[in-house]
Copies of this chain bind each other. A is one copy, B any other.
Amino acid sequence: MNSFISMIRNGYSDTIPVWFMRQAGRYLKEYNEKKGRMTIKEICMDPELIAGISYDPVRILNVDAAIIFSDITIPLEALGYKIEFLPGGPRIINGYIKNHDMKDIIYFEESNFKYKIYDAIKIFKEKYHFPLIGFSGGLITVLSYIIAGGPDSNLNLTKRSMLSDDKFNDYINIIKDMIIKYIRLQVRAGVDAIQIFDSWLGYLSPQTYENYIKGHIEEILSEINVPVIYFSTGTSSIIEKLSRLNVDYISVDWRLDMKLARSMVNKKGLQGNLDPLIAAYNLRYALKETSDIINAAGRSSYIFNLGHGVIPETPVENLKHIVNFVHNFNQ
Contacts and interface: CB of A to CB of B under 8 A. Distances in A.
B255 A202 contact: yes
Q: What is the interface residue range for chain A against chain B?
A: 35 or more
A208 B255 contact: no
A282 interface: yes
Interface string A193-230: 00000000011111110000000000000000000000
Contacts of A235: 255
Nearest to A261: B237
Contact of A155 (B206, B208, B277): B277
A256 interface: yes
Interface stretch (A75-83, A158-166, A171-179): A158-166
Interface string A285-323: 100010010000000000000010001010000000000
Contacts of A155: 277
Given A236-B236, A255-B237, A164 B205 contact: no
Given A260-B237, A277-B155, A163 B292 contact: no
Contact of A277 (B156, B255, B256): B156
A210 to B, nearest CB: 10
A266 interface: no
Contacts of A281: 159-160, 163-164
A257 interface: yes
Nearest to A154: B277
Contact of A206 (B204, B257, B313): B257
Contact of A234 (B204, B238, B255, B260): B255
Given A156-B311, A236-B236, 14 more contacts: A154-B277, A155-B277, A156-B277, A159-B278, A159-B281, A160-B277, A163-B281, A163-B282, A164-B282, A205-B278, A208-B275, A208-B289, A234-B234, A237-B256
